[in-house]
Amino acid sequence: DAGVIQSPRHEVTEMGQEVTLRCKPISGHDYLFWYRQTMMRGLELLIYFNNNVPIDDSGMPEDRFSAKMPNASFSTLKIQPSEPRDSAVYFCASSRGQDAGTQYFGPGTRLLVL
């Protein structure tokens, strides 16, 4: 299995631009999580899905952030418009419910907003 796949691996954009991050979970996993990691705030859960349905989005910082999961093998996290304070590493993780929640992380997308 290829593990969780994320793209792009690095993204540099200018303030005000739209940013779309992509994730492909491990096949057969029914939970998908989006995290943001910064030095100041550590690893924060933004949103998670179960069977493609958003379950908890209380971690999404504001309306500029949105996430979708149109099918079991693909999810996107969109920031529009982006701001410098959105600069961080964004991780996607997936898990299989019957494994009691063990999460496997993707390689992350390093986002820099200038």
Q: Give the footprint of another protein on this chain (CB under 8 A).
A: 31, 33, 42-43, 45, 48, 50, 55-56, 91, 95, 97, 100-108
Instruction: Give Cβ neighbours of residue 70 (< 8 Å, ≥ 6 apart).
Output: 52
Nearer to another protein, 72 or 81 (CB): 72
Nearer to another protein, 43 or 114 (CB): 43
Minimum CB–partner distance for residue 100 and another protein (Å): 6
Nearer to another protein, 70 or 101 (CB): 101
Minimum CB–partner distance for residue 107 and another protein (Å): 5
Report the C-alpha gap between 90 and 113 in whole angstroms: 13
Q: Is the separation of the CB atoms in 43 and 34 below 8 Å?
A: no
Instruction: Give Cβ neighbours of residue 64 (< 8 Å, ≥ 6 apart).
Output: 79, 80, 81, 82, 83, 86
